[in-house]
Chains A and B, each alone.
Chain A
């Protein structure tokens, strides 16, 4: 196995869940027998955007108050030859933090929207999970919904909600969601359109854009894991259980506050659904994996009444890396992690090229001042 850096945390509302995912992954990697000869590093991204190296064997309680004791502050340079380093290494000389591949465990915010991925690309670091484009698309509910609708796959109508927008063609009640954001944080159910517009001003999570779609209490969630290495593979279908029947939506608390992150939530797994429905979900998931450029392990969320279904969203860095979904087929956590790292090393996220920029344009150009005149 390669030397690994597990990256988790980040300035995101899902910071805490990401810490849990990261610590689980670090534990999963170190408990592996082959792990003895390799180095597992834990790189913690703080809420305020600073980088630290921490002990990968830490428990969640070490992060209760913020930066764990004994953490080493790092520098991160997004340029060739850059990457992570400890500026105060031995005798004041910077010590480079070296590893073969990074395991990205960041949920929400810049860790899942392509920002981190772009920085890692620029630093020449190989990493697991979505590419810049895949992450950015997965985080944009409007773009993803339009992509699914455009491909002719079943989905609920989803439109931009703006202060001066016309009421949508579909009627209420509505569900209002932040346009950008990974989890169910900031989601509201409203009866009519004017209330939805009012929420724009009141709900801080909607400040950077919001989408509106029909609220369908008759539909329930179905979720499926997809992984892309060594080959495209689908997990069993899961039906998450809401805390109470009165709960409108599967909320953040249901998912994460139970204690262990996603791996600790209530669920029916595999979900008891007709085999035709499961087959249809699988075919749709395959199309989406291709359309959305899935990489690593992703979770695709559907809504269904038990017969019909619609695509809801894709989670490109799912909580607990969706390890709990792999019951049929069975994929041990260690295998899941090893495959993520193999893909990180063997399937590059990008290939920048400067071919064609051979200077001919510069040769034939006149003076800059001439162009401006």
Chain B
């Protein structure tokens, strides 16, 4: 053991000892801003162990300046063997980097919830233990450097350590929710799907509201803790219908939700490559979603997807009442199709026309409306009343919302959309706008698409470049894929502009688009994405 900078090693000079303590102090100090940064990412990523390290890899790799800093830090760590003061460089890089990932956050600042405080305490304890081990082994400086470098991994480890504890704590809320559900005894309509959950939930509440008292879960309350909270805080005593959104990050999660919040009516809106990196394949996503049907007597499925058509057969064989929904097949139980022009819909029930050419907001998807009609019919809402309510279907926030800015630019806001099918539909809306001299697509691309992420973004950019005159690529997360897609169209396609973040993109739109021009904002990523 001849680490020259380490403490307590026989022969180490006072100078060496001093430098070692400076390194230890700097590294420990650097852990504070770094910890805050990665704790925020953990919070944004629902405290899923592993997610922080994945984001750290993305950040350090994707921007040249961060890549240079990372290499410099590693070099300095190596150099510190012979040149102790280099350890300070490591601390400096950890304290300020990665450049671009802010401490406070623009879209979502760190919220000191009880859960985050516990996580922060566990993380800090892990770091302290590492430093103490270093001191005990006489390797204080190198282990302090290690502690600073592994902050993202330490946060992930803390997430893993606290997750059983969090589960125990949430048990109490789940018990309370179970008891409340039993007492209020509403008809539970559970909605899942890779996309369209929130819209469908809104449509169901809108169609059923005049006939029954309805409570729908707030937008993001779709996991175990969120659903329990929605029940405990929103399910008032007189509620007759409870529309619950159920999300899933992995197999078994929806089945667990259904154990204490058993659905009477189950709805699956769509299967798509969302959270693909956690599931592996779309078939496994379909399997996970199908858990929602197990306890329900009535099942509503969009059979345009072959996998959901298979589930429909299976549910029927199990003796469930199945309502098959479609956006193309008029012989389906409920079929909603787009009319020839624009955003009008026509609906058919068992092949018979329910309503023809109803104007709906542009972001409204036919399959989601079909599911909502199906649920309303299952809940015995009068068919004519359903038809009447369809005429004033409210727009879905940030889903293809069209507006005109103060400067006269038409804005198509599709920032809440994160799936390839929806993105293609948004391009269709942009293409349908008439008399637009110049049109731009502003996008950071789509994420969580696993191995398909590059290809899906490339294809989207190619389609966008063919439709729009400008493509503004936000951030670095999908920059290469989007650039490749735009390039594949060639010189006839859109001009490409690269901007680091959304604020810069909005600035670009203000400066370059004139009254009469149009812009599509497609997806928005929170600022913990590079």
Contact = CB atoms under 8 A, between A and B. Distances in A.
Given A69-B113, A202-B385, A47 B236 contact: yes
Contact of B211 (A48, A50, A66, A202): A202
B210 A48 contact: no
A186 to B, nearest CB: 9
A36 interface: no
A334 interface: no
Given A69-B113, A204-B213, A49 B237 contact: yes
Contacts, number: 42
Interface string A99-112: 00000000000000
Interface stretch (B95-103, B153-161, B226-234, B469-477): B226-234
Contacts of A204: 210-213, 240
A67 B233 contact: yes
Interface string A57-76: 00000001111010000000
B235 interface: yes
A328 to B, nearest CB: 38
Contacts of B221: 65
A50 to B, nearest CB: 8
Interface residues of B, number: 21
A11 interface: yes
B344 to A, nearest CB: 23
Interface string A31-60: 000000000000000111110000000000
B382 interface: yes
A184 interface: no
Contacts of B307: none
B212 A46 contact: no
A66 B382 contact: no
Contact of B382 (A11, A48, A50, A202): A202
Contacts of B237: 11, 48-49
Contacts of A48: 180, 232-237
Q: Is the interface of A mostly helix, strand, loop or mixed?
A: loop
Contacts of B238: 11
A336 B213 CA distance: 36
Interface string A143-172: 000000000000000000000000000000
Interface string B199-233: 00000000000111100001001000000011011
Contacts of B218: 64-66
B173 to A, nearest CB: 11
Nearest to A11: B236
A69 B210 CA distance: 32
Interface in B111-149: 111, 113
A84 B111 CA distance: 29
Contact of A202 (B180, B210, B240): B210
Contacts of A47: 233-236
5 contacts: A11-B236, A48-B235, A64-B218, A65-B229, A66-B229
Interface of B: 111, 113, 180, 210-213, 218, 221, 229-230, 232-238, 240, 382, 385
